Amino acid sequence: MSPPHTATAAELKAFVTRLHFYVGLFVGPFLLVAAVTGVLYVITPQLEEVVYRGALTAEATGPAQSLAAQTEAARTAAGADARLFAVRPATAPGRTTRVMFSDPSLGESESRAIFVDPVTLAVRGDLTVYGTSGILPFRTTLDYLHRNLLLGDFGRLYSELAASWLWVAALGGILLWLWRRTGRLSQQNPRNARLRTRRLHGLLGVTLSLGLLFLSVTGLTWSQWAGGRIDGLRSALGWVTPSVSAALTPGPVVPVGDHADHHQHHGNGAAIPVDAASRLDEVLAVSRAAGIDSPLVEIRLPRADRAWLVREYDRSWPTQVDTVAIDPASMQVTSRADFTSFPLVAKLIRWGIDIHMGVLFGVANQILMAAVGLGLVAATLYGYRIWWQNRPAPGALPRTLMQSWLQLRAPARAIVALVAAGFAWALPVAGASLVAFLIVDVLRWRMARPSPRPLPAE
Asked if 193 and 389 touch (Cβ cutoff 8 Å), the reply is: yes
pTM value is 0.89
The pLDDT of residue 4 is 52
The pLDDT of residue 5 is 55
The 10 Å Cβ neighbour count of residue 166 is: 25
CA–chain centroid gap for 131, Å, is 13
Residues 6+ apart with CB under 8 A from 451: none
Angle made by CA atoms 46, 50, 56, in degrees to the nearest 5: 100
The 10 Å Cβ neighbour count of residue 450 is: 6
Indicate if the alpha-carbon torsion angle 448, 403, 438, 19 is positive or negative.
negative
CA–chain centroid gap for 302, Å, is 30
Helix (H, G, I), strand (E, B) or coil at 274: coil
The 10 Å Cβ neighbour count of residue 422 is: 11
- Of 317, 357, 50, the closest CA to residue 221 belongs to 357
Indicate if the alpha-carbon torsion angle 279, 280, 286, 287 is positive or negative.
positive
Strands 110-116 and 333-337: unpaired
- Of 280, 298, 294, the closest CA to residue 244 belongs to 298
Q: Report phi then psi at 253, rounded to 5.
A: -90, 140
Domain extent listing, the chain: 4-42+151-226+361-448
- Of 383, 394, 426, the closest CA to residue 220 belongs to 426
The pLDDT of residue 238 is 85
* Helix pair 428-448, 156-182: axis angle to 10 deg: 60
pLDDT, tens digit only, all 458 positions of the chain: 455 555 578 899 999 999 999 999 999 999 999 999 999 999 999 999 999 999 999 988 999 999 999 999 999 999 989 999 999 999 999 999 999 999 999 999 999 999 999 999 999 999 999 999 999 999 999 999 999 999 999 999 999 999 999 999 999 999 999 988 776 555 556 667 888 899 999 999 999 999 999 999 999 998 999 999 999 999 898 888 999 999 987 554 445 455 555 544 454 455 666 678 899 999 999 999 999 999 999 999 998 889 999 999 999 999 999 999 999 999 999 999 999 999 999 999 999 999 999 999 999 999 999 999 999 999 999 999 999 988 877 666 667 888 899 999 999 999 999 999 999 999 999 999 999 999 988 887 777 665 555 555 55
Asked if 319 and 351 touch (Cβ cutoff 8 Å), the reply is: yes
How many Å apart are CA 19 and CA 416, to the nearest integer?
A: 12
Strand pairing partners for 242?
A: none
